[in-house]
Amino acid sequence: MSHEHDHDEEMLPEFAKVGQKVPPFTMETFDPIEGGFGEVDLGALRKTGKWVILFFYPADFTFVCPTELADLATRHAELTKLGAEVISVSTDTKFTHLAWKTDERMMADVKFQMAADPTGEVSRFFDVWDYDTGLALRGTFIINHEGVLVSSEVNYYNVGRNGDELVRKMEANNYLKNHPADACPAKWTPGDKVLTPSEKMVGKVYEALND
């Protein structure tokens, strides 16, 4: 996890925290579209104004993991349209990623970059590293266009995630980028009412949503 330092980034905590900036870093990848190896550079993505979704999972050639990545693949185009670069991450090497993508039929539609974190350095920074197994838990992190971590979700090994909810959270965060004074209530989807917090709304949320 190589860093590009500036004054703000040097003040970051040991672990990534929601609401704080994530330092730029790079990881080696297997790129399913190109069929070869490459590198993902968080600093370069930030300069293009892209959001980044990091999708940590325990290991290639396991059981729940291909179902998660296959599900994520069905929502990849929507997430890309919302301005996000989707990157899956595990502690496997880029070579294992290539072999898994080739062998596992559930991975047929995966087109996002598959990043390698064999030392666990990035997994430790996002606090999904399991010291007992050397694997990453199921962590999903959304980093906005300014490099701020705005969403964090961590599941244990035996519970897979839902790509629909990831799209919903990305839609909400994308809306709030252009409407920073608003807030999205539970289950919000585009077109639903939003909240604009003020002293007049205290104790009157029902009325605000049902007028």
pLDDT tens-digit profile of 147-186? 999 999 999 999 999 999 999 999 999 999 999 999 999 9
Say what the pLDDT of residue 13 is: 54
Pairing between strand 129-130 and 135-136?
antiparallel
d(CA 158, CA 138): 9
The residues that are catalytic are 65
Region of 83 on the Ramachandran plot (φ > 0 left; ψ -120 to 50 alpha; else beta): left
d(CA 27, CA 29): 6
pLDDT tens-digit profile of 126-139? 999 999 999 999 99
Q: State the pLDDT confidence band at 14, using cuts at 50, 70 and 90.
A: confident
Per-domain residue ranges of the chain:
7-178, 181-211
pLDDT tens-digit profile of 27-86? 999 999 999 999 999 999 999 999 999 999 999 999 999 999 999 999 999 999 999 999
Q: Does domain 7-178 have CATH number 3.40.30.10?
A: yes
